Amino acid sequence: MTAPLILPPRPELAPWIHHILLMPLRESCVSQLPAVLSPAILIFARGSGWQQPEHDASAPAPLPRAGLSGPRLRPAATRSAPDTCVISILFRPGMLAEALGPGLNELRGQTVPLDAAFPPAQVARMLARIDEDGQPARWIEHAQQWLVDNLRPRANAHRARLELGDPRLLFAPAAQLAGSLGIGQRQFERRMDRVYGTTLRDLRRLARFGLSLSDLLTGAGWRGRLAHLAQHYGYFDQPHMVREFVALTGHAPARLVQLAAGDDAGFWIYRFARRDFRSLFLTRQAAALEDAGLG
């Protein structure tokens, strides 16, 4: 297998899971990953990986064979061994705790071993089945079956969802957002923290970033358009957009486009077609914003 696959989940997992990515990395590389709000289950079907330190003086930390990765507001870099294949199961916002139990507060900014949160024997059986099977489609099926087996008996996707109705309300004042849901502002802020694991301000940051990044990498090109893109997506000005991109990806917009167009294998995540890019980067709310005309 040499090409990545982005797949929908099984129907019974669709309320909980946004998408499943199967990413083969034939050569050892350092994957450059942007900030992300949605938690994920990461499984090394083949090979292994290490978390690269933010500071060169620190040693790389081995990543668990199967782990739960929480939301983070900083970019990350992970080094993979040759012939590595990673399964990433991305949860819809707010659905991890309702579906499986672990809360976002326990996972912010880190990846914890899956067998630290769930019975180790169950996790080991799932990994053994993946090891015994040579078909990537079957790897994903084994991972999904583990999820089905571990769903909470009374899990309720509707209870965990935070829908804003008109997607353009995402950038409305917090009091207006709360009023549209029929709740008070403080209750809205608590629900925002529970569902997204962050504040409304940071949710807006990530939505604005995802929309502008999608346009920047898969639109009509960036030369001469950065000031327009900054204005269109609600940044104060172009320098504000540049600062946000550096904070969330480690690179200014123009430099990121150049790196995505280059031959560094570590920037694979920025090279998907627009439809797949939406699946990877945009939450349902942000994708609805794009469909409504903001993007």
Over the stretch 221-257, which tens digit does the pLDDT of each residue have?
667 788 888 998 889 999 999 999 999 999 999 999 9
Residue 221's nearest CA partner among 172, 257, 246 is: 257
User: In this predicted model, what pLDDT tens digit does every residue of 76-124 receive, in sequence order?
Assistant: 999 999 999 999 999 887 788 778 876 666 777 889 999 998 999 999 9
Q: Identify the pLDDT of residue 292.
A: 42
Cα–Cα distance, 135 to 152 (Å, whole number) = 29
- Whether 259 and 248 have beta carbons less than 8 Å apart is answered as no
**24 three-class SS:** strand
Q: Identify the pLDDT of residue 40.
A: 92
| Residues of the chain scoring pLDDT < 50 | 288-295
Q: Identify the pLDDT of residue 295.
A: 45
Q: Identify the pLDDT of residue 138.
A: 95
How far CA 285 is from CA of 9, 117, 204, in Å, comes to 19, 29, 10
How far CA 240 is from CA of 123, 146, 205, 237, in Å, comes to 44, 43, 11, 5
Q: Identify the pLDDT of residue 144.
A: 96
E strand or H helix at 68, and its extent? Answer: strand 66-69
Q: Identify the pLDDT of residue 213.
A: 87
Cα–Cα distance, 30 to 77 (Å, whole number) = 6
Q: Identify the pLDDT of residue 188.
A: 85
Domains of the chain (ranges plus CATH)? 5-157 (2.60.120), 165-292 (1.10.10.60)
What is the gyration radius of the CA atoms in the chain, in angstroms?
Answer: 19
**173 three-class SS:** coil
| Tokens at 102, concatenated | 């672990």
Residue 160's nearest CA partner among 103, 221, 242 is: 103
